[in-house]
């Protein structure tokens, strides 16, 4: 990896920071600031105080605190810096998304497409001229111009521009691996593709808009928290306005600048400045994990998930039936069966054939095709339902469907072993595929092919269980097979012989109990359930309909990542809660720092509350304001990276965050404001404040 690429991988780099600094000033526009009412109020206060720095007698009185112009100017500057820091936090969070969007835009280029007419003739057109339903030909070396479904042919497709995975993916018509994405490249063979979207609405276009933040909407939790913070702001505004006549009654002169500064110190500016950055950073963490979240709500919902519905084929299992065991019949030894099964599979390039060779090697039996140079490989055919090898001496070795092999042996005058049907039925009962092996007219036994559970799932499902998340596997298999796979994978429950409508019923049943349900899937038949679930996660290798129905797409098509996605969702909620707790605790501490210092001369009894012994009311105000400003950039890394999530009970998690961010939020301002007061005391003395 080059130094430039490494720089891009960093949490922050010079390019992102530089751009964020410029954007901080651009975001000062009232049109932008009004989206964040708390910081907009700070901006209004900044403007008022700055005007008072130029015209100190505008409202007919002064503070009696040293040089009024200088005091007002210092307050205005600190307020301005506070706004810039809040804008910088948001710009930094957006910066990573915009950097990724820039990379994606380089992938999206105005490519040419080979449009096929009804007669099969090729016409070269621009990709943006393609319409939904058009049929195009994509050959080796061509870029896929837009999203579509393979309707003919088979090809290897390089999806690294989208997924970052360098290994090509095989795409073919039919099944769940027929979807191709605009911006990817065909690296071998050819495919005919039917375009499924109109220009500007491709998966890549949606990715660019999402990572740029252009379509980011506030989530319900954000809206609720924003409403709470705005309510607190209004309450403190009323309190500060009320203080003015109260101070006058006590013969304490409070300037407009002091009242504005006091208001800014008391309202939740810390979380107000970081709230947007937390939401953007949460979506960015998902994106950097090679997941595309279609909304912030989807990420948040992941943090609240109670039930996980998982499709079996392609999600829990590989989907390809692989050799799991060899079952000899009659007087045949297992070793002899393995040798003959291996012989039938040496030149078999199918996943099943390769798995037979791999299993034989694991059991200590190997062979080489070099020993059979004059032999002829017999490929599987739908008519014969068998494959195998004809040796040089004419010996025929076959594997295939039990009925086909039995007919083959009977035609050669062989005898069917009495326990063959029992072994075949045994494999079938467990949902496996039995392949019978014979040499000429003698049957040696059965190869047990089974759908294999993906590695690592047992441990990950155990971790989900620790988080209190129930896992349910849905499969079309019979109950016996479903139970076997469920036990092997470690899921909590399963639904056998499950049809698409059954998946929806399972999701609705859980939702009716007030639970948040997540669903993963990759096929067209999964689309309705993905749409019904609170969190629908589609595999990128899946069909277009599945991806359109879901609100999250896994670019790596790795269902085991669902654990990390849940943790990211929980981390987002915890981070927002932790920083909100810290911000409100800060405000409480600042209240005790500032109010006593202001009224101590008029009300000597308040001396007991003046625990920090700040130099003067002016230094108390300025120290609290400075602390209020600098705490925002200090917390930017926490907002961006998130508070680390540890699987534990909700009550323990709440207690931990209250102790760390609640108690810490109260103590930190006392220390910070006192230190700042000590530093600015010489300046206050010099200015007579």
Q: Which of 300, 307, 284 is nearest to 220 (CA)?
A: 300
Give the residue among 206, 209, 191 at the shortest CA–CA distance from 148: 191
Confirm whether residue 348 is marked as ligand binding.
yes
SS3 of residue 452 by DSSP: strand
CA distance 185 to 168: 9
387 is in an annotated binding site: yes
What is the gyration radius of the CA atoms in the chain, in angstroms? 34
- Answer yes or no: is 59 a known binding residue: no
For tokens 């998946």, name the residue: 503
- Check the annotation: does 383 bind a ligand: yes
| CA distance to 19, 78, 262, per residue, from 61 (Å) | 42, 22, 18
* Residue 133 backbone zone (phi > 0: left; psi -120 to 50: alpha; other: beta): left
Spatial CB neighbours of 146, under 8 Å, sequence gap ≥ 6: 113, 127, 130, 182, 195, 197, 199, 202
Spatial distance between the Cα atoms of 620 and 630, rounded to a whole number of angstroms: 16
311 is an active site residue: yes
67 annotated binding-site participant: no
**Residue 19 is labelled as binding a ligand:** no
Binding site annotation covers 522?
yes
Contact in structure between 145 and 283 (CB atoms under 8 Å): no
Tokens at 677, concatenated: 């007061």
Q: Is residue 106 part of an annotated ligand binding site?
A: no
Q: Is there a binding annotation on residue 384? A: yes
Distance (Å, whole) CA 491 – CA 316: 10
Whole-number Å distance between alpha carbons of 534 and 100: 27
Q: Say if CB 115 and CB 123 are below 8 A apart.
A: yes
Give bridge partners of residue 137 from the DSSP assignment.
Answer: 114, 192
DSSP string, 379-400: ---TTT-EEEEE-TTS-EEEEE
CB half-sphere exposure, 90, CA atoms < 13 A: 25
Dihedral sign for Cα atoms in the order 555, 556, 557, 561: negative
- 352 assigned ligand-binding residue: yes
d(CA 548, CA 543): 9
CA dist., res. 250 & res. 601, Å (int): 10
639-659: buried (b, 16+ CB within 10 Å) or exposed (e) per residue? bbebbebebeeeeebeeebbe
CB 372 within 8 A of CB 389: yes
User: Where do runs of H (alpha helix) occur along 220-268?
Assistant: 220-249, 256-266
Q: What are phi and psi of 276, to 5 degrees?
A: -65, -40
| Element holding 180 (H helix, E strand) | strand 179-180
Neighbours of 281 (CB within 10 A): 27
Q: Tell me whether residue 385 is annotated as binding.
A: yes
Active-site residue among 158, 311, 477, 534? 311
Cα 34 to the center of its chain, rounded Å: 29
Specify the residue for token string 């016996």: 480
Tokens linked to 323 = 């050799």
Q: Using CA atoms, how far apart are residues 190 and 442, in angstroms rounded to an integer?
A: 43
- Calpha distance 147→199 (Å, rounded): 9
CA-based torsion, 617, 622, 625, 630: positive or negative: negative
- Residue 75 · residue 87 · CB < 8 Å: no
Measured CA distances, 38 to 233, 272, 300, 578, 631 (Å): 7, 6, 23, 19, 16
Number of H helices, E strands in the chain: 24, 20
| CA–CA distance, 148 with 641 (Å, rounded to integer) | 36
Which segments are annotated as binding site?
348, 352, 380-387, 399, 522, 526
Which segments are annotated as binding site for Mg(2+)?
522, 526
Q: What are the catalytic residues?
A: 311
Which segments are annotated as binding site for ATP?
348, 352, 380-387, 399
């Amino acid at each position: 990896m080059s130094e430039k690429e490494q720089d891009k991988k960093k949490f922050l780099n010079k390019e992102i920071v530089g751009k964020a600094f410029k954007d901080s000033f651009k975001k000062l526009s009232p049109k932008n600031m009004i989206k964040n009412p708390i910081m907009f109020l700070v901006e209004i206060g900044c403007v008022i105080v700055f005007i008072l720095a130029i015209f100190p007698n505008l409202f007919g009185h002064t503070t009696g605190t040293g040089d009024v112009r200088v005091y007002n100017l210092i307050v205005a500057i600190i307020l301005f810096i506070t706004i810039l820091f809040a804008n910088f936090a948001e710009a930094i969070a957006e910066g990573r998304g915009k950097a990724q969007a820039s990379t994606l835009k380089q992938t999206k280029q105005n490519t040419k497409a080979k449009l096929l007419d009804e007669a099969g003739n090729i016409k070269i057109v621009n990709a943006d001229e393609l319409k939904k339903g058009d049929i195009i030909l994509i050959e080796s070396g061509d870029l896929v111009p837009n999203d579509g479904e393979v309707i003919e042919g088979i090809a290897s497709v390089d999806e690294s521009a989208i997924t970052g995975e360098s290994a090509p993916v095989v795409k073919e018509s039919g099944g769940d691996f027929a979807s191709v994405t605009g911006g990817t490249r065909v690296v071998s063979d050819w495919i005919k593709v039917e375009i499924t979207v109109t220009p500007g609405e491709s998966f890549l276009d949606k990715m660019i808009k999402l990572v740029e933040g252009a379509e980011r909407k506030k989530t319900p939790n954000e809206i609720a928290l924003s409403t709470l913070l705005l309510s607190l702001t209004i309450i403190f505004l009323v309190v500060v306005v009320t203080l003015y006549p109260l101070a006058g009654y006590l013969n304490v002169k409070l300037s407009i600048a002091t009242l504005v500064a006091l208001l800014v110190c008391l309202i939740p500016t810390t979380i107000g400045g970081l709230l947007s950055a937390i939401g953007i950073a949460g979506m960015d963490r998902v994106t950097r994990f090679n997941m595309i979240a279609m909304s912030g709500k989807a990420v948040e919902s992941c943090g609240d998930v109670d039930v996980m519905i998982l499709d079996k084929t392609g999600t829990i299992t590989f989907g390809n039936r692989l050799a799991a065991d060899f079952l000899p019949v009659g007087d045949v030894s297992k070793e002899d069966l393995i040798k003959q099964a291996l012989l039938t599979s040496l030149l078999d390039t199918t996943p099943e054939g390769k798995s037979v060779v791999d299993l034989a090697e694991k059991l200590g039996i190997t062979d080489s095709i070099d020993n059979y140079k004059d032999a002829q490989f017999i490929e599987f055919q739908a008519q014969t339902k068998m494959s195998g090898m004809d040796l040089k001496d004419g010996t025929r070795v076959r594997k295939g469907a039990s009925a086909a092999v039995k007919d083959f042996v009977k035609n050669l005058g062989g005898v069917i072993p009495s326990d063959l049907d029992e072994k075949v039925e045994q494999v079938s009962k467990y949902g496996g595929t039995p392949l019978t092996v014979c040499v000429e007219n003698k049957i040696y036994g059965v190869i047990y092919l089974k759908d294999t559970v993906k590695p690592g799932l047992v441990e990950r499902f155990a971790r989900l269980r620790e988080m209190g998340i129930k896992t349910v596997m849905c499969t079309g298999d019979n109950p016996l097979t479903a139970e076997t796979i469920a036990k092997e994978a470690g899921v909590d429950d399963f639904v056998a012989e499950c049809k698409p409508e059954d998946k929806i019923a399972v999701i609705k049943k859980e939702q009716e109990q007030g639970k948040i349900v997540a669903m993963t899937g990759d096929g067209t038949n999964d689309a309705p359930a993905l749409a019904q679930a609170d969190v629908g996660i589609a595999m990128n290798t899946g069909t277009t309909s599945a991806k359109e129905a879901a609100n999250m797409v896994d670019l790596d098509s790795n269902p085991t990542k669902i654990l990390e996605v849940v943790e990211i969702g929980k981390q987002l909620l915890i981070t927002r809660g932790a920083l909100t707790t810290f911000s409100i605790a800060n405000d409480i501490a600042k209240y005790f720092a500032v109010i006593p210092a202001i009224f101590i001369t008029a009300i000597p009894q308040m001396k007991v509350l003046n625990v920090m012994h700040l130099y003067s009311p002016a230094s108390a105000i300025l120290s609290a304001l400075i602390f209020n400003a600098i705490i925002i950039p200090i917390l930017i890394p926490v907002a961006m990276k998130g508070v680390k999530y540890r699987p534990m009970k909700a009550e323990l998690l709440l207690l931990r965050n209250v102790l760390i961010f609640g108690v810490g939020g109260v103590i930190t301002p006392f220390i910070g404001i006192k230190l700042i007061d000590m530093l600015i005391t010489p300046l206050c003395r010099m200015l007579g404040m």
